[in-house]
Structure 1
Amino acid sequence: MKHTPFSRRHRSAQSLALVIMIGSFLAGCATTAEQRQAELNEDMVTCANFGSRYGSAQHTQCMLIQQQRRDGEALAALERARIASEISRNTQEMIDARKEEAN
């Protein structure tokens, strides 16, 4: 497989951009103590609005459901990032193959 200096630079720049994007995404996923407390307060209000009293079995169940919802959203975001990364990689491979065919 023949690479021109430009394609190596381009691939390095793309790799660096991908690493920065993933790093930024992961940094954004990290919840601080304040964020976690805000989420907890929001969940408690949600459960109270559903009519469950703090400490009751219904409240505990509601809080678990709220956490499962958050976990599901985080998992979906990670899956979207994985798919975007895969699409980017496939696109770059196709571009590289076309450049090779042109040479």
Structure 2
Amino acid sequence: MGQPEKKTITWTTLSIGSVVFLAFALTGCMSVEEQRRANLYEDEGTCSDFGTRYGSQAYTQCMLQQQQRRDQAQLLAAEQARITSETTLNSLETMRRLREGKR
């Protein structure tokens, strides 16, 4: 009966570890400067698609909004990662307590 619990804990830990590793690996594919340029290019395209002209007040406002959107997305991703990590730690602690209680 103890074996399935170990497998569950191990697979859960491995799954979460794999997701975190993959996230770091994918973000590490570009240098900070390359990522900044890619973001700028994407934002310029978005603002141009909205019909704003480079140098206009509307264009500047659009570019700022795109940066704020990206910042919010990064904050949300960091918060979700924190919550996932906390949940995992709580689950592992619960499993440890359950195992200790069975002994």
TM-score scaled by length of structure 1: 0.71
Q: Percent identity?
A: 43
Which residue of structure 1 aligns with residue 46 of structure 2?
Answer: 46
Equivalent residues in 2 for 1:2-41, closer than 5 Å:
25=23, 28-29=26-27, 32=31, 33-41=33-41
Q: Residues of 2 paired with 1:36 and 1:28: CA distance?
A: 15
CA displacement 1:32-84 (0-9 Å, x = unmatched): 21121011011001101111111111110000000011111111111111111
RMSD: 2.6
Which residue of structure 1 aligns with residue 3 of structure 2?
Answer: none
Point out where structure 2 has 5 or more consecutive residues left out of the alignment: 1-8
Q: Tell me the SS of whatever aligns to 2:45.
A: helix
Point out where structure 1 has 5 or more consecutive residues left out of the alignment: 1-9
Q: Residues of 1 paired with 2:54 and 2:69: CA distance?
A: 19
Which residue of structure 2 aligns with residue 58 of structure 1?
Answer: 58
Equivalent residues in 2 for 1:83-98, closer than 5 Å:
83-98=83-98
TM-score scaled by length of structure 2: 0.71
Moved over 2 A (4+): 20-32
